[in-house]
Amino acid sequence: MPDTPLPHHSHGPSDIELRVSRLEKLLVDKGLVDPAAIDALVDTYQNQVGPRNGARVVARAWTDENYKKQLLENATESIMELGYQGRQGEHMQVVENTDTVHNMVVCTLCSCYPWPVLGLPPTWYKASSYRARAVSEPRAVLAEFGVEVAEDVEIRVWDSTAEIRYLVLPQRPAGTEEFNEDDLAKLVTRDSMIGVGLVQSPQSPS
Ligand code: FE
């Protein structure tokens, strides 16, 4: 198929989503695919393959001050420099968490998401409750994700669109001073790059 843009910011499932779900049902009904296998595949792309790219970007920014500066100024090209590009990642912006600002990302109208660095969006990201509440009560939503943001920290909520996709640069956790880029990348979670999680300090050996 040519590079026809998919419809964005329309409510309800798109034609393509409806076609995919009908196709999936047909394949399952005919016994051609196992729904558990499909779930496992989706999970892989949601949690494993996709977000590992974003984690590489974050780890590079944590270890290379020049790269970080460049990433904050021109995210699309800086991410492409590490080899990550493609559909839904053409216009990226990276927003940095600091001691005084916490960023989180939503798409209030549908599910715009930076595929090349995060893979497929999780189900909750597409849920109407997240889309509405991330804007109206971000602090409460973050608390439900287990993230307590201090009262004096400003929360900035970024609304993704077909035109621009956001990636949160989380704060580098304490206790990682000796970590190299590979070790750091392993700590970075998908949720921390959406802004609904924090990167945890490495567990000290018990
Ligand atoms: Fe959207």
Distances (CA, A) of 106 to 51, 55, 130, 194: 16, 19, 8, 8
Range of the domain at 49: 12-194
What pLDDT is attached to residue 8?
52
Q: What are the catalytic residues?
A: 107, 110-112
- What CATH number has the domain bearing residue 50? 3.90.330.10
Number of independent structural domains in the chain: 1
E strands along 56-177, which residues? 92-96, 101-106, 154-159, 165-169
What pLDDT is attached to residue 5?
47
Ligand 1 mean position, distance from CA 32 (Å): 32
pLDDT one-digit tens code per residue, 90-128: 899 999 999 999 999 999 999 999 988 999 899 999 999
What pLDDT is attached to residue 12?
59
Ligand 1 mean position, distance from CA 43 (Å): 21
Ligand 1 mean position, distance from CA 11 (Å): 9
List of the chain residues with pLDDT < 50? 1-7, 10, 205-206
The dihedral sign for the CA sequence 12, 15, 20, 23: positive
96 touches 156 (CB < 8 A): no
Ligand 1 mean position, distance from CA 132 (Å): 13
163: Cβ contacts below 8 Å, ≥ 6 apart: 91
In angstroms, the CA 180 to CA 60 distance is 9
Ligand 1 mean position, distance from CA 168 (Å): 17
In angstroms, the CA 66 to CA 81 distance is 13
What pLDDT is attached to residue 9?
53
What pLDDT is attached to residue 158?
98
CA 35 to chain CA centroid, Å, is: 25
In angstroms, the CA 135 to CA 116 distance is 25
* 3-class SS letters over 10-45: CCCCCHHHHHHHHHHHHHHHCCCCCHHHHHHHHHHH
